[in-house]
Amino acid sequence: MLVEVRVQSLGLDRSSNTPVVILQELDGERILPIWIGPGEASAIAMELAEMEFARPLTHDLLVSVLGGLGGILNRVVITHVEKSTYYAELIIRRNGEVISVDARPSDSIAVALRLEARIFADDVLLERATVEIGDEEGAAQDEPAMDSTDVPDGIMRPEELEEYLRRLNPEDFGRFTP
């Protein structure tokens, strides 16, 4: 099931100094944090701040190309996550045809904001994020532990990431400014 979300805030994860976009369900309290790159965070922040530029930036260019080709962004869907990487689709209508384009959530959000298109996330993602962030009892106790040889330096093991997300609050994110 798809749930409509909105950009609740854009912040900076102080522990990793990585930008994060916080999506919140439109008719509820659940949130979905997605860590993103600084370029995409700037594009989102600039649109949220209604900043205008003399020349089009990359996401503005995509919006112009889409319109020039007769397409309309119907919606953005954050579809799933694999190994901490989120996936999204741009759902475009053109000449009565529906086209689904694979895209990063950060780029999809930046384009959706520019076109005032609706953003949706799979309910499973919101449920999973809610459990990971808020449910102290929700941790799986019987998953096999990985040893240090399984994880590259600087990367959290699954149980470390789960614990980190469980303790995370939206207030823990600093404000991101371009």
DSSP state of 110: H
What does 27-44 look like in DSSP terms, one character per residue? TSS-EEEEE--HHHHHHH
What is residue 151's DSSP assignment? Answer: S
Per-residue pLDDT, 115: 97
In a domain, 149, yes or no: no
- Which residue from 92, 114, 144 is spatially nearest to 45, judged by alpha carbons? 114
Q: Which two tokens stand for residue 23?
A: 């999506």
Strand partners, 10: 21
Residue 95 lies inside a defined structural domain of this protein: yes
Interatomic CA distance for residues 173 and 35, integer angstroms: 11
pLDDT digit string (tens) for 60-101? 999 999 999 999 999 999 999 998 899 999 999 999 999 999
Distance between CA 24 and CA 126 in Å, rounded? 9
Residue 98 forms part of a structural domain: yes
Does pLDDT of 46 surpass 80? yes
User: What are the residues whose beta carbons fall under 8 Å from the beta carbon of 171, sequence distance 6 or more?
Assistant: none
Decide if 145 is inside a domain.
no
Q: Note the pLDDT tens digit of each residue in 130-162.
A: 665 554 333 333 333 333 333 334 444 445 544
Tell me, yes or no, whether 119 lies in a domain: yes
CATH code at 29? 3.10.690.10
Domain, as residue range, for 116: 2-138+154-175
Count, residues in the chain: 178
pTM of the model: 0.74
Cβ count within 10 A of residue 19: 25
What three-state secondary structure class fits 135? coil
DSSP-based three-state secondary structure for 62: helix
Domain assignment of residue 143, yes or no: no
If residue 75 lies in a helix (H) or strand (E), which one and from where to where? strand 71-82
Amino acid at position 155, single letter: I
- Please check whether residue 148 lies inside any domain of the structure: no
Distance CA 167, CA 134 (A): 7
- Based on the structure, what is the number of domains in the chain? 1
Q: Is residue 110 part of a domain?
A: yes
